[in-house]
Amino acid sequence: MSTEHGWITTPVTTDILRGLLDAEPTAHGLLPHRLPARARRQIPDGRLAVAEAQPSGVRLVFRSRATTVELDTLPTKRVHRGFPAPADGVYDLLVDGRLTAQATVAGGNVRTVVDLVTQSSELSEGPPGTARFAGLPAHDKQVEIWLPHTETTELIALRTDAPVEPAPAYGRRVWLHHGSSISHGSNASHPTATWPALAAARGGVELVNLGFGGGALLDPFTARAIRDTSADLISLKIGINVVNTDAMRLRAFTPAVHGFLDTVREGHPTTPLLVVSPVLCPVQEDTPGPLAPDFSDGTLRFRATGDPAERAAGRLTLNIVRDELARIVEQRAADDMDLYHLDGRDLYGEEDHAEIPHPDGIHPSPAGHRRIGENFARLAFGDGGPFTASDPAGL
């Protein structure tokens, strides 16, 4: 800790970070990762490498009387060639659990995706910037800064006008969730508005979000990362990426699910484990992948390019995946009393889609995230759910 002109600079270290599995020292500071180094060395594609370094659910947590907080970061922003650049990622600041302020960081690196199919990209380097929060209450308080969920963020320095100390553990249960871009937070308006963050707040739990855009493909290295991570509750949202990448057929899918669950159970033999099938996505309910971008109406949407006639030969659709996941869980639950199943259409189904359709055909809108988060909290954390707390405090 250092002091200059009334500011107190506190090094950003892992004792004030939550929701990550690893932190990589860089030339600028510290880069949070949501997969450990061993897993990252086994990643076969750039898309997952980018997704796991985007800090969905990662936050700084500390106590302080500070009324002004500044966080220096170097963001890496992702844009698609030929499309307008997205808005700068949002930093959410919470005081004692309540969203109190938001900020953005201009500048930074820019990664331009030049091909939507191959995800090949070019990186242009830019300067760091500062997220600034002022006018905070002067009393001792717990401060959380949730990092932009889809913007790779190197953490450089934390400055305050009062001392900072690591926050004590909440004493709340840790919920580890793994899923696809929907779990990662695609189209959510800010980091505490992704559906897992909303569900965690309602459920009174600590979130570790391993939702990876395009990367929920039953990879063994992801299963090992979950196995080796401390958690009180685990959910696995399986299926949509397997279908929309056309990654495997039914013959490979079934043992891959068993293998993934076996690996998780090696580290968490009695942890409540909830398997969640895909939410409704009309594009792929009965049509196999792969997905392809569709610009026919002048906006980016997606369409499935497979032949429904090939379902008989084992080609996967969302309905086939849902049926198989339900069967697998029913079979395994005979020997695993802590294994549960949730049909994703109970989180977002036909009525939800009619009211708040996916704007691009596959990802929910901000309102869709709210609906999914509310439904998950009710079904998983509510009375009779697999994650129901054993006492009213949720401890």
Helices 366-376, 195-203: crossing angle, 10 deg rounding: 30
d(CA 324, CA 250): 9
> pLDDT band at residue 117, thresholds of 50, 70 and 90?
low
Percent of the chain at pLDDT > 70 equals 96
The predicted structure's pLDDT at residue 232: 98
Identity of the amino acid at 239: G
pLDDT at 84: 73
d(CA 83, CA 70): 31
309-333 average pLDDT score: 97
Domains belonging to the chain, first-starting first, are 2-166 (2.60.120.260), 174-381 (3.40.50.1110)
Q: Which residue has the higher pLDDT, 24 or 394?
A: 24
**Residue located via tokens 């990362």:** 225
Stretch 262-273: mean pLDDT = 98
Tens digit of each residue's pLDDT (9 = 90 or more) over 281-307 = 999 999 999 998 887 777 778 899 999
CB 56 within 8 A of CB 209: yes
Query: What pTM does this model have?
Result: 0.94
Mean pLDDT of 163-175: 92
Give the pLDDT confidence score for residue 209 in this predicted structure: 98
From CA 255, how far away is CA 248, in angstroms rounded? 11
